[in-house]
């Protein structure tokens, strides 16, 4: 991907009041251990990549960018599964971008210099008939592309997914058809679990990017608060299965409620999961890792449901956006909410929408009291304006 060099001789090209940029060592880009897979969760560290840091500094100084650097893009709100715990249930099955508009939007993302696009939902991104064209346009334009999918339709697009995706994460949440069908029902007469496993297996054989098996920890309780269904005992089997079919990692996440607050669980249940994670450590190697999300860390450590934030403006809202058929939102946490709505690209170009958008309308101290994955990134950007020093890394992952 083309990007302006941040070597000393090019510093004058960067707007940096008080020469804050001089306080960062830009002369010696440094790759973080050949980008180990765990680095995908170190979001704040990604801000110091040579193609990102100048933009982060501008935001730290209160400036705006011409376009976001990373976009979560929902091509459609339609989905072929009916998961009861779906956090996007409120926006499902409410339309999609027309083929003409989303194909042009992909071109606009390239023209605007967006560095990474995550095809997600909302609905199931592979259900949009233009998905192949979208991916091709973005990747041909130098944009890194990731995807979160339920995996049922991978076989229809396996060649383009294998060749052009930086990463694909498949939402599974189970290691057996019985548990899968309870938490990820499809409405079909037969379980789609075997089909999804087959799709992942076949993709793993030919893919160039990373492939992940996502496991959301879920438990259901009756009116007496007694657990009657759980997938907590499937973590070990899920990890073993993920490795056996060629996945690069298993990612374990704790479930949260409609307000994005992590749901508390009993200590014994948390320990049950931890014991399985300890067992999975024995099968980790250079080709397979177990990733623990920030929500799992919060659950395991007994962190308060609320994550206090002593700032009133979200810096990351200048660097990222969530684009959906119903509008453009400050972030995925506020997808579908009027408070998080900052524009619409249905009939307006991306650049025009972004120019007029009030990107920092949310007050994190009031509107984002849940555990935010980019809280540390916001703190880091704030410190940049105070002269934070850090070595610049070579580019390794634009999904900040």
Q: How far apart are CA 167 and CA 93, in angstroms?
A: 26
Specify the DSSP element, H or E, that contains 323: strand 320-324
Q: Are 391 and 310 in contact (CB under 8 A)?
A: no
Residue 39 has pLDDT above 90, yes or no: no
Peptide bond into 122 cis (omega under 30): yes
pLDDT tens for 244-288 read: 999 999 999 999 888 889 999 999 999 999 999 999 999 999 999
Q: 């949440």: which residue's tokens?
A: 173
| 14-to-58, 174, 265, 317, 380 alpha-carbon distances in Å | 9, 48, 48, 21, 20
User: Which DSSP category does 327 fall into?
Assistant: E
Q: How far apart are CA 3 and CA 24, in angstroms?
A: 18
Q: What is the pLDDT of residue 29?
A: 40
Residue 341 has pLDDT above 50, yes or no: yes
pLDDT tens for 222-250 read: 999 999 999 999 999 999 999 999 999 99
> Mean pLDDT over residues 41-55, rounded?
94
Residue 8 has pLDDT above 70, yes or no: no
Q: How far apart are CA 166 and CA 339, in angstroms?
A: 32
All structural domains of the chain, each given as residue ranges with its CATH number in brackets, are 70-300 (3.20.20.70)
Q: What is the pLDDT of residue 35?
A: 56
pLDDT tens for 183-222 read: 999 988 889 999 999 999 999 999 999 999 999 999 999 9
Residue 28 has pLDDT above 80, yes or no: no
Instruction: Look up the pTM and report it.
Output: 0.89
Q: Report residue 25's pLDDT band, with 50, 70 and 90 as the boundaries.
A: very low
Q: What is the mean pLDDT of the chain?
A: 90
Look up residue 45 and give its two tokens: 């560290």
Q: 């492939």: which residue's tokens?
A: 211
Q: What is the pLDDT of residue 41?
A: 75
């Amino acid at each position: 991907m083309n990007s302006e060099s941040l070597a000393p001789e090019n510093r004058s090209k960067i707007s940096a009041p008080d020469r804050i940029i001089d306080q960062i060592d830009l002369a010696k880009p440094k790759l973080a251990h050949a980008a180990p897979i765990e680095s995908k969760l170190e979001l704040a560290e990604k801000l110091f990549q040579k193609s990102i840091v100048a933009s982060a500094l501008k935001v730290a100084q209160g400036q705006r960018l011409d376009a976001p650097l990373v976009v979560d893009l929902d091509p459609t709100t339609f989905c072929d599964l009916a998961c009861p715990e779906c956090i996007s249930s409120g926006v499902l099955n409410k339309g999609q971008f027309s083929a003409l508009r989303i194909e042009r939007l992909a071109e606009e993302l390239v023209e605007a210099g967006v560095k990474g696009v995550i095809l997600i939902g909302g609905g199931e991104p592979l259900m949009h008939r233009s998905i192949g064209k979208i991916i091709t346009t973005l990747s041909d334009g130098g944009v890194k592309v990731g995807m979160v999918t339920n995996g049922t339709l991978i076989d229809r697009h396996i060649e383009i997914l294998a060749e052009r995706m930086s990463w694909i994460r498949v939402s599974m949440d189970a290691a057996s058809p019985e548990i899968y069908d309870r938490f990820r029902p499809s409405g079909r007469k037969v379980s789609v679990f075997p089909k999804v496993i087959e799709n992942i297996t076949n993709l793993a054989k030919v893919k160039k990017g990373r492939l992940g098996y996502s496991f959301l920890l879920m438990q259901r309780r009756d009116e007496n608060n007694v657990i009657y269904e759980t997938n907590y005992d499937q973590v070990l089997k899920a990890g073993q299965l993920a490795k056996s079919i060629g996945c690069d990692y298993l990612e374990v996440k704790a479930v949260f409620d409609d307000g994005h607050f992590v749901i508390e669980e009993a200590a014994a249940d948390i320990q049950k999961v931890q014991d399985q994670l300890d067992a999975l450590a024995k099968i980790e190697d250079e080709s397979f890792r177990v990733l623990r999300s920030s929500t799992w860390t919060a659950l395991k450590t007994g962190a308060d449901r609320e994550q206090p934030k002593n700032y009133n403006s979200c810096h990351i809202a200048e660097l990222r956006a969530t684009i959906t058929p119903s509008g453009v939102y400050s972030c995925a946490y506020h997808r579908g909410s009027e408070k998080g709505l900052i524009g619409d690209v249905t009939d307006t170009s991306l650049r025009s929408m972004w120019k007029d958008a009030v990107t920092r309308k949310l007050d994190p101290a009031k509107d984002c009291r849940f555990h935010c994955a980019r809280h540390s990134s916001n703190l880091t950007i704030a410190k940049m304006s105070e002269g934070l020093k850090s070595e610049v890394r070579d580019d390794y992952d634009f999904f900040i």
